[in-house]
Structure 1
Amino acid sequence: MLFRSRLGLALLCSSLAVNLLAAQPLVFCADADPDGFDSALSDTAATHRAAAYPLYNRLVGYAPASGALVPELAEKWNMSADGRSWTFKLRRGVKFHTTAGFKPSRDFNADDVLWSVRRQVVTSHPGAATAPGGFPAALSGDWGALIRASEKIDAYTVRFVLAKPYAPFPALMASWPMSIVSAEYGNRLALAGQLARLSSEPVGTGPYQLLKYEKGAVIRYVAHPAYFRGRPAMDKLIFSINPDASVRMQKLRAGECHLSESLRPQDVAALSDTPKVRVVHYQPQITSFLAFNSQKKPFNDVRVRQALSLAIDRAAIVQAVYEGRAATGMLPYAPDTLWGAPSQPPIAPRLEQARKLLAEAGYPHGFETSIWARVGGGASNVNPRLTAELVQADWAKLGVKTRLVAMEAAELGRRGRLGEHAIVISGWMNSLDPDELYGNLLTCDAAQTSTARWCDKQFDSLIDAARATPQQAKRAKLYEAAAQHFLTAVPWAVLAYPKAALAHDARLKGVMPSPAAPFSFERLRWP
């Protein structure tokens, strides 16, 4: 009897421990505040992590391990024979969030898809007033010109008619700005003149619902009980916002947060020796670069851009900033990937050639400029300030005097889109189809919103040809040619392709980094 009593007590204690762990909120250490919670309004990683990941779904998703395109809110899709239209069959039974300010009267359907897309591409649409200046990704990708018509075939079928063949269209529908919002909610807010609530009080179909946001401190979410893939295992999700990487590391070691990315190399080493923390290494699709504002003097002269790029010691940056956990690079899209161009070995600094180019451009003694860098670090650059300081020292050898300007990530992104900068340290990640990178950052369509503000007709012709080519091997050759043209024009000085690491509580399950995303909140669970 005594043995049975002790066994029963042990089983009860074990069960209580499991239940307590299951009820424990998941705390994610975030490196920056979001711009808001409407993915179509922002192009910052912090916003997509806080909005697109937990709150919304898109028609197309990415497989967790391979990064391949897979069905999400669309069950299947097909392209017309001429490549000018795409038809999507939608999933039935998908529920929107019910919040304090909105109770949906119906499930997700074709109306929501059309509302979410049309507000970004039709200026007369009631939802367009959300962004009087236009939606960033829609502007840079010129989606208004691409999507000639969007049609409701029936309640669960939509068709997009395009101005020209566009092979990457499913990848476009997987992009964060194409997150699906409730048309019923959007129309109600538009009639009330309250469209800003789409961002402050979001309603999506995603695994979590927003409860509360305290800027600079915390974001609180609760599990969506009617989520179409099943209620998430974690009832509560908390973002602890900490721009300081050392603070994030301390919280991980203390168990005050359970998951974090954007780790500094020194943190990776320290956390690897922490028994209760597990560090996961993976290779994402990330490019770290300096963007020159090519619409401002002297950066409108290709010789100046070439000279500054030639003077950078990329190997020193990889060692000092990334502690060797990155590959030096010069091409816009990382090589040795599914879509990557052949590797271009980075050259050592060529100061004499750089001086000659500056002299030819009319700057034999250099000039004065500034570099913008975000406060804290992110996935593409763990220490932007140190990067800027190293570049500053390299350019000083040419007589170029560079002032460093530090600002918060959201402010840097906003002012960068307005073109106020001369040079900005930036990066791009997780775009598995090259068209998302090229289309949003380097084409003429993107020239008025991208940090490079660069337009080159020859480059555009190569990208347009790739967009019209459904065969991947042929598309890859066109991207190779585009990358080589980029190498000569130098709208960016590409610095590195960082390797990535994330750290998580050793008890946490479901962390599966892929080239598309480091993790998915809906798959995370306690044992």
Structure 2
Amino acid sequence: MRMSVLAEATPPPPCHSLPRRMIVYGRESHPVSPGGKDRPPPDNSVLIQLSGLYQTIRQTKWIASWRFLKHSCRKEFADMLSKTMSHRVLMVTVVSLLVVALLAACAPAVGPEAPADTGEAVADTSGMTGREAALASASEEDRTLIVAVSQDLSTLDWDASGAFPRMTETQVNVLGSWAQPAIIELEDGSMVGDALNFEPMLADSMVISMDGTQWTFKLPQGMKHYPSGNEITANDYLYYKDRRGNMRVPPSLDRLVRLATKEEPLKGFEVIDDYTFRFNASDWTPILRPFMSCCQFGYLIDSQAYMDAGAADGDKWGQEFAKTNMPSSGPYYIHERIPNESMEFRTNPNWQGKEPFFNRIIFTVVPESADRVLLLKAGEVDMAQDLSAKEINDLRSDANVSTKQVRIGDMIVMPINHNTEPFNDKRVRQAVSYLIPYDDIIDNVWYGSAERSFGPVPSMVHGYDHSYWPYDLPKEEAIAKAKELLAEAGYADGLEFDLNIDLGTPEQASMAKIIQSALSEAGITVNINPMPRAAYQEGKNQGTHTSALDTLFPWTAEPGYFMDILLGCASYGNRYSGVCLEEADELIREAGTTVDEDARFELYSEAQRLHIDNASWIWIGARYFTLAIGSDIAGYVAFPDTRTRYWHLYRDSSQ
């Protein structure tokens, strides 16, 4: 589906007033300064320079060059565009002329006539991509993908279930969105989703105002939901936003919008007509681009189906209907679901995008991870989800299995409750921070699938600052410092607290034992309390954990969003653990509309310093997203939100 990117015909703002660099997940490609003050940039980070119309031109580059030009023209176009981009002020029409010229220049020469048709049904795969060739020659059996998962969805109502991985993965495959993260091909041939830039999904045009405060999307007419056949319109998105607001969904994305609009989230959205939607910001903000790339932005759900289903009960939001139904506007629809056993996707017959290779995807519930590993090794399933770090590590040497690992900011944390003793005292929080054996946990629990963190922003995110971290001391010094702080807080004889862990996350039990042993050396007794996932999740939502172990991943690669959503006074983190630092919140709000990048990151740096000193949480590390799939499955794209888009995958029979 083609999407054009336009800019309003008004003079651009001064180049120095717009952002010069942002981070996406990929590889370093521009020699600009690193994310931390004295730490080199991560190996797989891309630092991209954006200035003035660069943003619009670069977006046009991704869409026109990578998505719509013939493969042989891509490098030529990119090289020319790269040279063109060295000029700070350009009209977008120049890009259009380049595209037209290159299309003409790269048109294939007239060759010999094709051989006569012999009548044999043999697919000609010459000149095709690997995916196209696989699709042309695949059997129906080849086009079925089987995925072993640890658990079923408790409901198909995303607003009732929360954003846990199985639900959000279902959403991104079944629900169509205005836009989606742009896709980058790395030097090694692997594909990643860009955390700060996006490309079309259902929209076919977008207009960005020159001051960056209005983003207008337009839908093509005639697209339909499945199975109802209702037309997809801009009102479907507004219904989605209204439904989330009225059902009091945990405000992760809504807080991001509030940072951008300085208003209640719904006031930032406007339906112009049935096919046109606009996002309005109060001022230019650096979080708009990552916001647009977020996997929960822009779903167009079948509003009429939900309203019709709930009409008899006076339920505008169709809550009973939503428990067992998720009408499709995306590449797949839910064909069948047997609770706690299986769920099957099939390709949406109303989908107008590229045809998925896999027209059936069967998710089978296999509760024990060891069983999922055995099924994958035996070739009985094509993918195994929710494996432990050790299991992934053991599978790396299996020739029949391909392990995918994506370096993301999925934070390994120990949230501690500021509303209850003993953690309502900052000195106790600091004492525990000194005692945690961080390197031991990363090395002996995560098996190369995680790295250290040194504060509330992981090193994968541009703008993190670890220079304020004081908690790495030699063991004996750390114990002495912790005992000193505990004595000042009135706990000279030691203390005791509960550490709640999720039974569904095997690494948590291993981490808890290491923490229990380390803290005992300073007179702290840690009672490890394993909990079923439902009870554990309820404790998070109700703020009843004294302490817990968790992995949390904000989907937007902006330091302010990481700190705001996990540690802000009116955020998810406050409900979880009672954390609140008004001074840090004010710095984050100010940074949200600070145009000068250096000034913005100074504000973020100070906010990080405040949270580190406050020991707001205990930051242990950042785990990588890992996935194990059959060696014959190709086309995997690592998206920033870690959710697999199954329509990109295909079976490569040559493997």
Same fold (TM over 0.5): yes
Deviation at 1:420, TM superposition (A): 1.6
Pick one of 118, 137, 140 that aligns with 2:242.
118
Corresponding residue number in structure 2 for 1:28 = 147
| Residues 79/286 of structure 1: CA separation in 2 closer, same or farther (3 Å cut) | farther
* Aligned twin of 1:525: 650
Deviates more, 1:31-40 or 1:506-515: 31-40
Structure 2: distance between partners of 1:16 and 1:463: 48
Match of 2:559 in 1: 434
- For each residue in 1:389-418, what CA deviation from the matched residue of structure 2 results, as whole angstroms up to 9, or x when unmatched? 111222222322222222343442233111
Q: Does 1:494 align with 2:619?
A: yes
CA shift in 2, pair 1:265/1:407, >3 Å: same
Pick which of 418-427 and 468-477 moved more.
468-477
Match of 1:56 in 2: 175
Go from structure 1 to structure 2 and tell me whether the alpha carbon gap of 1:149 and 1:263 turns closer, same or farther (over 3 Å shift).
Answer: closer
Match in the other structure for 1:307? 431
1:105 aligns with 2:230: yes
Aligned-pair CA distance for 1:63: 2.2
Name the CA shift for 1:299/1:200 in 2 (closer, same or farther; >3 Å).
Answer: farther
Change in Cα spacing, 1:376 to 1:86, as seen in structure 2 (3 Å) is same
AA matched with 1:525: Y
Task: Give the aligned partner of residue 252 of structure 2.
Answer: 137
Classify the secondary structure of the residue corresponding to 2:635: coil
- Residue 76 of structure 1, aligned match among 206, 217, 225: 206
Residue 320 (structure 2) aligned to one of 184, 187, 196: 196
Find the counterpart in structure 2 of residue 370 from structure 1. 498
* Aligned match of 1:88: 216
**How do 1:87-236 and structure 2 match up within 5 A?**
87-93=215-221, 95-99=223-227, 103-106=228-231, 108-121=232-245, 128=246, 131=247, 133-137=248-252, 143=258, 145-162=264-281, 166-178=285-297, 179-192=299-312, 193=315, 194-236=318-360
| Local SS of the residue matching 1:118 | helix
One of 594, 601, 606 as aligned partner of 1:469: 594
**Percent pairwise identity:** 19
Q: Deviations over 1:254-303 (max 9, x none)?
A: 11221234443432343223222112333122211111122222222211
- Cα distance in 1 between the residues matched to 2:136 and 2:303: 43
2: CA distance between counterparts of 1:48 and 1:343? 37
Are 1:292 and 1:422, in contact at CA under 8 Å, matched by a contact in 2? yes
CA contact (8 A) 2:295 2:641 kept: no
Q: Secondary structure at the match of 2:544?
A: coil
Cα distance in 1 for residues equivalent to 2:404 and 2:257? 37
1:328 Cα offset (Å): 1.9
**In the aligned structure 2, how far is the partner of 1:411 from the partner of 1:86?**
42
- Is 2:400 aligned against 1:272? no
Contact 1:463 1:479 survives alignment (8 Å): yes
Report the aligned-residue RMSD: 3.2
User: Which one-letter code corresponds to 1:367 in the other structure?
Assistant: L
CA deviation vs aligned residue, 1:150-189 (integer Å, no higher than 9, x gap): 3222222223445666542343344344433222123223
Report the Cα offset of residue 320 of structure 1. Answer: 1.7
**What is the CA–CA distance in structure 1 between the aligned matches of 2:175 and 2:417, rounded to whole Å?**
33
Give the distance between the partners of 1:227 and 1:175, measured in 2 at CA. Answer: 22
Deviations 1:343-386 (A, max 9, x none): 66761451111112122222222322212211233xxxx61111
2:378 is matched with: 254
Change over 3 Å in CA distance of 1:205–1:105 after alignment to 2:
closer
Deviations 1:69-119 (A, max 9, x none): 2133344253574x6x533212314745423xxx1331x221112111122
Change (3 A) 1:174 1:325: closer
CA distance in 1, matches of 2:143, 2:166: 25
Counterpart secondary structure, 2:364 = strand
Which residue number corresponds to residue 125 of structure 1?
none
Q: CA deviation at 1:311?
A: 0.8
CA apart distance, 1:474: 4.0
Partner residue in 1 for 2:9: none
Superimposed CA distance per residue, residues 441-468 of structure 1 (whole angstroms, 9 cap, x where no aligned partner) = 2111215764233111111011101211
Residue 146 of structure 1 and its aligned partner are, at CA, apart by: 4.2
Aligned counterparts of 2:587 and 2:488: Cα–Cα separation in 1: 29
Query: Could you tell me which amino acid in structure 2 is paired with residue 120 of structure 1?
Result: R
* SS at structure 1 position matched to 2:650: coil
Change (3 A) 1:520 1:288: same
Cα 1:408–1:481 shift into 2, 3 Å: same
CA 330–138 in structure 1, closer or farther in 2 if over 3 Å, else same:
same
| Residue 38 (structure 1) shift | 3.6
Q: Counterpart amino acid of 1:196? A: E
| Structure 2: runs of 5+ lacking an equivalent | 1-119, 124-133, 184-191
Confirm or deny that 1:358 pairs with 2:486. Answer: yes
SS of residue in 2 equivalent to 1:237: strand
CA distance in 2, matches of 1:79, 1:480: 30
The match for 1:481 is 606
Match of 1:405 among 505, 529, 532: 529
1:312 positional shift:
0.5
2:507 corresponds to 1:392: no
Other-structure match for 1:513: 638
> Residues 16 and 115 from structure 1, CA distance in 2 versus in 1: closer, same or farther, beyond 3 angstroms?
closer
Question: Which SS does the other structure have where 1:20 is aligned?
Answer: coil
Q: Which moved more, 1:473-482 or 1:315-324?
A: 473-482
Moved more, 196-205 or 487-496: 196-205
Task: Measure how far apart 1:317 and its partner are.
Answer: 0.6
Q: 1:428 to 1:73 in 2, by over 3 A?
A: farther
SS of residue matched to 2:408: coil
Q: Report the AA paired with residue 113 of structure 1.
A: Y
SS in 2 for 1:232: coil
Distance 2:618 2:294 in 1: 25
Q: Distance in 1 between matches of 2:157 and 2:283?
A: 29
1:99-155 Cα distance to aligned partner (Å, 9 max, x none): 3xxx1331x22111211112233xxxxxx2xx2x54443676685724435322222
Higher Cα radius of gyration: 2
The CA deviation at 1:520 is: 1.9
Q: Could you say what secondary structure the match of 2:156 adopts? A: coil
Find the aligned partners of 1:273 and 1:210 in 2 and give their Cα distance: 35
Measure the CA separation in 1 of the matches of 2:645 and 2:406: 15
What is the count of residue pairs matched by the alignment? 499
Question: Looking at both structures, which has the greater relative contact order when contacts are Cα pairs under 8 Å and sequence separation is at least 6?
Answer: 1
Change (3 A) 1:274 1:168: same
Distance 2:365 2:294 in 1: 24
Shift of 1:514: 4.3
Give the equivalent residue in structure 1 for 2:41.
Answer: none
Aligned-partner Cα distance in 2 for 1:185–1:269? 45
Provide, for residues 43-67 of structure 1, a one-character-per-residue CA deviation record: whole Å limited to 9, x for no partner.
Answer: 4432444422221233332123252
Letter in 2 for 1:274: D
Structure 2 CA distance for partners of 1:86 and 1:293, relative to 1, 3 Å: farther
Change (3 A) 1:51 1:499: closer
- SS of the residue corresponding to residue 577 of structure 2 reads coil
**SS of match in other structure, 2:548:** strand
Letter in 1 for 2:479: L
- 1:240 equivalent to 2:364? Answer yes
